[in-house]
Chains A and B, each alone.
Chain A
Amino acid sequence: MTVELAFWILALVMVGAALAVVLLRDIFRAALLLVLCFFTVAGIYITLNADFLAAVQVLIYAGAIGILLIFAIMLTRNIKEGNPFNRLKIPALLVSLLVFATIVGVIVSTDWTTVTGASQGVVVPVGSATTGPIATALFDQSKGFVLPFEIASVLLLAALIGAIVLVRDRNSKE
């Protein structure tokens, strides 16, 4: 019951913040509301028994990506332009409503109780901490994700170098 109440409050705040991100004229306020939206997603993770992921969400999304976006807005802000719509406003609305109707139709018509996936992967009981078991799920010899983990670290290194190369000022030779 408590989880259900928390879900509804978090869902309402989240959808409101996301709509404000899309509809607000001031892009700086939109970025701040996006950070609020990230925080509510962390709350949703807690209602889903994902405590480690909630901490990661606050650290990486609300912290790192939020600050990065605000920096980019400060560096490129054009006050008089703001955050306008392009001329695809109505077609984009139709397309996203169509996608939404399709997804909801599939969700409602699928019988989720017949789906089982417990044969593979690490399973923990509801209500227990997930930080330690996630390490097992990532690094276990037989059912782990060691190779994707290593590829992710190479991806982060490539993104780091790529970002530095892209924003380097090419005119100043030292």
Chain B
Amino acid sequence: MHFGLEHYLILSAIMFCIGLYGALAKRNAVAILMCIEIMLNAVNIALVAFSRYLVPHAVLLTGQVFAIFIITVAAAEAAVGLAIIIAIYRSRQSVDVEQADSMKG
């Protein structure tokens, strides 16, 4: 196969699924947040790959602009998510997501 867009997209798919597996199967809330960061990075790789390869012999910068916005949202998400995790740790002395079940019916 000719080296190009597909290689980057499949790398992005591998990273996304590793992150998805970790986010679904981990018990530590910080580890879940780390896996979500891996997923966001995977999406960014796909966007930048599109920006490089969709137009032949040129770089369409819209994909990179979208990646910048995703990095902004990821930074905000990490700050608020870690603040929530620290607040939960203060009240329960644990970051195990299976013990944070007070809203369970």
A binds B: yes
Mark A residues whose CB is within 8 Å of B.
Answer: 3-4, 7, 11, 14-15, 18-19, 21-22, 27, 30-31, 34, 37-38, 41, 44-45, 48-50, 52-53, 56-57, 60-61, 64-65, 68-69, 71-73, 75-76, 78, 81-86, 88-89, 91-93, 95-97, 99-100, 103-104, 107-108, 112, 115-118, 120-126, 128, 130, 133-134, 136-138, 145, 148, 152, 155-156, 158-160, 162-164, 166-167
Tell me the number of A-to-B contacts counted with CB atoms below 8 Å.
Answer: 254
For chain B, what secondary structure do more than half of its interface residues adopt (helix, strand, loop), or is it mixed? helix
- Which A residues lie within 8 Å of B10 (CB)? 104, 107
The 10 closest A-B pairs by CB, nearest first: A159-B76, A92-B24, A166-B83, A22-B22, A92-B25, A121-B62, A163-B83, A96-B21, A100-B17, A137-B61
How many B residues touch A, CB cutoff 8 Å?
73
The answer to whether B68 and A14 touch across the interface, beta carbons within 8 angstroms, is no
- Which B residues lie within 8 Å of A68 (CB)? 78-79, 82
